[in-house]
A = this chain, B = another copy of it.
Amino acid sequence: MADKNFDLETTISALARNKRYAALRDVLVTMNAADIAALFAGLEQEVLPLLFRLLPKELAAETFVEMDSDAQELLITGFSDSELKEVIDELYIDDAVDIVEEMPANVVKRILQQADAETRKQINEILKYPEDSAGSIMTTEFVELRPHMTVADAIKSIRRSGIEKETINTCYITMPDRTLSGQITIRAIIIADDDDLVEDIMEQHVISVSTMDDQETVAQMFQKYDLLSLPVVDKENRLVGIVTVDDAIDVLQEETTEDIEKMAAITPSDRPYLKTSVWSIYLHRIPWLLILMISATFTGMIIMSFENALAATVALTAFIPMLMDTGGNSGSQASVTIIRGLALQEIAFKDIFKVIFKEARVSLLCGITLAAANFLKLMLIDKVSLVISLVVCVTLVITVFVAKIIGCTLPMLAKKIGFDPAVMASPFITTLVDAISLLTYFSVASFLL
């Protein structure tokens, strides 16, 4: 797909330069909004407003949603009030909220001025929920039915209001006080008889979330229960919105990116890399580098305290990097496996002893294999003395064991006390394991040499 777009980019540029607007429009309407937005991102800014105006109303709004916030701001600035109103009228509420959240205050003011009163009210409603809550990612547009409706009434109601709802695939049944009493799929409605009552064919056991629930929990429920949408209720069980699966996928991907960044000792950011300033990337990375650098002081202190031993046998120094790297790698294998398992809810705190026992056995197998390979290499290739070989290999086994046990235990303990397990990944564990492996190394050396 991606390669095809690049050819198209050249064509569209040429058509725009030669003012072939009819042809341009014909080409663009065959395309999907996400592809048009990607295409626009590669063109010169000047032609953007012109090309955008060629799109039919609905496709224009869909494309607008897919563009990045800089391009959106550029377009809004160029829009007349009536053009802006036209785009906003076509947007789904949750998309409108996403755009409002990214725009500077003066643009937000213009958007809210052009939105009709009902839309403005709904946008403000969603904006009041905290970031990363279910309320902040929901849409307030959904199909609402009543229990006593017949299927024929329900279909009439869907026909009347369904065109502007984000989804009609699942409809929600509420009582007059708006409390949620059931849900029904469009499939069940189509298959039912016209005079069946909605309350007789609806599902009564509805999975719902609360407005303040964490968006990650919400997104994971989509995966667990294979949902297409999920109702969001307030404290009184009144239905206030729904979350749709497309937004749940975005949340899952965002949260995973955050976990991966934390594992690599980066403070997470939610802007794409190429759009993030150097200064901002610096600020997200330097705190952890500083903390980890300073905590490496301990390894330095350990080495200094064994200065005499090292001066006598410089050969020992040569194996420090290998021991440290192997310890770090072993530890991060364990920690990353456990962190991902916790994130996917495959592992829970109650499994901690099972996990430790498993890692203990794995680490002994790994440690012994590595030590054996290393022993052969030391004796046959490096030709160092038997005692030094033994010191290195014994240290290796102990280091791998300690690294894997720490690597699996810390993320689980972190989770238990309410910390983010992802922060307990490689860099943090490496620093700890480094210190322990150096202490082991020198202790074994003092004992055997």
- A interface residues (Cβ-Cβ under 8 A, vs B): 1-2, 30-32, 34, 155, 158-159, 162-163, 168-169, 186-187, 190-191, 205, 207, 221-226, 228, 245-246, 248-250, 252-253, 256-257, 260-261, 263-266, 272-274, 278-279, 281-282, 285-286, 288-290, 292-294, 296-297, 299-301, 303-304, 307, 310-311, 314-315, 317-322, 324-326, 328-330, 332-333, 335-338, 340-341, 344-348, 351, 354-355, 358, 361-362, 365-366, 369-370, 373-374, 377, 382, 400, 426-427, 430-431, 434, 438
Is the pair A324, B322 in contact by a Cβ cutoff of 8 Å? Answer: no
Is the pair A322, B304 in contact by a Cβ cutoff of 8 Å? Answer: no
Assembled-state Cα–Cα distance A296/B370 (Å): 13
- The closest CB in chain B to the CB of A396 belongs to B293
Is the pair A273, B322 in contact by a Cβ cutoff of 8 Å? Answer: no
Which among A299, A301, A377 has the greatest number of chain B C-beta atoms within 10 A?
A299
Assembled-state Cα–Cα distance A430/B307 (Å): 26
Can you show 23 pairs from A to B with CB atoms below 8 A apart? A1-B221, A168-B187, A228-B228, A245-B249, A249-B249, A252-B252, A261-B336, A263-B336, A264-B335, A265-B333, A274-B358, A278-B362, A288-B329, A289-B326, A289-B369, A292-B329, A296-B325, A296-B326, A304-B315, A310-B310, A324-B324, A328-B328, A328-B427
Assembled-state Cα–Cα distance A321/B273 (Å): 30
Number of chain copies forming the complex: 2
Assembled-state Cα–Cα distance A263/B345 (Å): 20
Chain B residues near A344 (CB-CB < 8 A)? 253, 257, 272
Chain B residues near A264 (CB-CB < 8 A)? 332-333, 335-337, 426
Query: Assuming A265-B333, A278-B362, A326-B296, is B190 touching A169 (CB within 8 A)?
Result: no
Which among A34, A162, A187 has the greatest number of chain B C-beta atoms within 10 A?
A187
Chain B residues near A303 (CB-CB < 8 A)? 317-318, 320-321
